[in-house]
């Protein structure tokens, strides 16, 4: 298996924008706050499903539990098996007792023993600030040893301390929970999550429960895995400079040889490759090797799929409803057409669909 850093390999048409033009203005929409899902539905596959047809933009309404109706024997469902780390830390400033919150990004590459984090607190952040995270036996002390750009800091903790022991699922900020809900430990994780490394869930996969996966297997729908560890860039707003540069934050990925073989088998029998989520889509398209095949490999990808990009691998996409002006919305618009997607979003809002991470789903075929 090759190890590599992949730059965008999906074919993209050039964007030439006036200096003052906002390239994201066409990807805005109004969402009433009550449509932002605060809790997942039970069971997982009870979520509603809006089915969008790419050729003509027609929509139909279903549920995720009926996914076997929309797929057919010989299709290949590709999922992202990354596992979300308990990267959210709640704590206090030792001196004042003021609340702080951190999102762990992992050990610093310098080998200094410091941990990278995004830190949210009132007041100015400065080196030497003493913090205490967690509660009970998992509690630990930390010292802010450096402040970096983009809101990132370095935290020094004692040798042998595992900060993740005090952590909880890093729910996105639009899910407002004053207190921890232990149910999120399970529900903000896919049932096939096996490879730890993400700081946000690949949310399309949250809809697939074990019983539904068994039904798909019985219906002759093959399944294969990729890994893309969702990084901290998913929490940062998409800006004009990123859009023009045409590259996102780099994230680690792996596409196993077994998945490349599964794609080849699917092509041979005339089946469709259905990506579960935008993260899976980015891995498959980053590993495109020509003739609608993929090459196995691992590394990092900063592939940015946006209107003008040409998809070389996927035939369908199961995804959630995404934030305005986000790279995720742009990917879906690139695949299905901006007008069709925004029209489908408007219809979903009118019909009371639930949006974002714990919300309902869309299937584009």
Q: What is the dihedral of CA 161, 162, 163, 164, to 10 degrees?
A: -160
Contact yes or no for 202/84 (Cβ under 8 A): no
**Residue 171 forms part of a structural domain:** no
**Judgement on whether residues 108 and 26 belong to the same structural domain of the protein:** no
**Judgement on whether residues 142 and 192 belong to the same structural domain of the protein:** no
**Residue 172 forms part of a structural domain:** no
CATH number at residue 29: 3.40.1780.10
Question: Looking only at Cα atoms, what is the longest distance across the chain?
Answer: 66
In whole angstroms, give the CA distance from residue 300 to residue 287: 11
CATH number at residue 127: 2.40.10
Q: Percent of the chain, pLDDT > 90?
A: 83
**Judgement on whether residues 22 and 127 belong to the same structural domain of the protein:** no
**Judgement on whether residues 196 and 158 belong to the same structural domain of the protein:** no
pLDDT in tens, 179-235: 889 999 999 999 999 999 999 999 999 999 999 999 999 999 999 999 999 998 777
Name the domain boundary from 115, 133, 166.
166
Residue 135 has pLDDT above 70, yes or no: yes
**Residue 173 forms part of a structural domain:** no
**Judgement on whether residues 147 and 238 belong to the same structural domain of the protein:** no
**Judgement on whether residues 56 and 98 belong to the same structural domain of the protein:** no
In whole angstroms, give the CA distance from residue 88 to residue 181: 13
In whole angstroms, give the CA distance from residue 17 to residue 201: 33
**Residue 141 forms part of a structural domain:** yes
Q: What is the DSSP string of 28-78?
A: -----GGGB-SS--SSGGGSEEEEE-TTT--EEEEEGGGHHHHS-TT-EEE
**Residue 295 forms part of a structural domain:** yes
**Judgement on whether residues 92 and 71 belong to the same structural domain of the protein:** no
- Between the alpha carbon of residue 109 and those of residues 85, 115, 155, 225, the distances in Å are 18, 9, 13, 28
Q: What is the arithmetic mean of pLDDT over 242-250?
A: 89
User: What per-residue confidence (pLDDT) applies to 52?
Assistant: 98
**Judgement on whether residues 227 and 317 belong to the same structural domain of the protein:** yes
**Judgement on whether residues 97 and 40 belong to the same structural domain of the protein:** no
**Judgement on whether residues 65 and 95 belong to the same structural domain of the protein:** no
Residue 20 has pLDDT above 70, yes or no: no
User: What per-residue confidence (pLDDT) applies to 150?
Assistant: 76
- How many domains does one find in the chain? 2
Work out the angle between the directed axes of helices 278-286 and 327-336 (0-180°, nearest 10): 70
Q: Percent of the chain, pLDDT > 70?
A: 94
**Judgement on whether residues 108 and 229 belong to the same structural domain of the protein:** no
**Residue 177 forms part of a structural domain:** no
Q: What is the arithmetic mean of pLDDT over 349-361?
A: 98
232 DSSP assignment: G
**Judgement on whether residues 264 and 349 belong to the same structural domain of the protein:** yes
Residue 14 has pLDDT above 60, yes or no: no
Domain carrying residue 344 = 2-84+184-364
Q: What is the arithmetic mean of pLDDT over 30-51?
A: 97
């Amino acid at each position: 298996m090759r190890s590599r850093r992949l730059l965008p390999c999906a074919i993209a048409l050039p964007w030439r924008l006036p200096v003052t033009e906002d390239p994201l203005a066409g990807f805005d929409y109004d969402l009433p706050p009550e449509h932002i899902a605060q809790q997942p539905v039970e069971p997982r596959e009870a979520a509603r499903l809006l089915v969008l047809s790419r050729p003509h933009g027609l929509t139909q309404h279903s549920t995720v539990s009926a996914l076997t109706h929309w797929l057919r024997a010989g299709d290949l469902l590709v999922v992202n098996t990354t596992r979300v780390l308990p990267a959210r830390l709640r704590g206090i400033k030792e001196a004042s007792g003021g609340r702080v919150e951190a999102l762990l990004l992992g050990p610093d590459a310098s080998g200094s023993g410091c941990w990278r984090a995004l830190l949210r607190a009132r007041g100015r952040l400065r080196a030497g600030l003493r913090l205490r995270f967690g509660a009970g036996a998992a509690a630990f002390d930390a010292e802010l040893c450096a402040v970096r750009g983009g809101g990132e800091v370095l935290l020094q903790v004692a040798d042998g301390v595992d900060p993740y022991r005090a952590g909880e699922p890093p729910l996105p900020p639009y899910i407002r929970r004053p207190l921890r809900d232990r149910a999120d430990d399970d529900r903000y994780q896919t049932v096939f999550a096996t490879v730890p490394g993400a700081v946000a869930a690949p949310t399309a996969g949250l809809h697939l429960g074990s019983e539904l996966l068994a039904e798909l297997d019985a219906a002759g729908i093959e399944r294969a895995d990729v890994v893309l560890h969702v990084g901290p860039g998913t929490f940062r707003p998409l800006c004009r400079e990123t859009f023009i540069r045409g590259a996102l934050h780099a994230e680690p990925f792996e596409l196993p040889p077994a998945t490349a073989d599964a794609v080849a088998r699917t092509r041979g029998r005339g089946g469709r490759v259905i990506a579960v989520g935008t993260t899976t889509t980015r891995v498959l398209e980053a590993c495109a090797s020509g003739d609608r095949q993929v090459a196995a490999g691992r590394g990092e990808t900063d592939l940015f799929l946006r209107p003008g990009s040409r998809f070389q691998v996927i035939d369908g996409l199961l995804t959630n409803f995404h934030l305005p002006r986000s790279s995720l919305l742009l990917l879906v618009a690139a695949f299905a057409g901006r007008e069709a997607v925004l029209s489908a979003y408007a219809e979903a809002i009118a019909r009371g669909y639930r949006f974002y991470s714990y919300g309902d789903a869309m299937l584009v075929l």
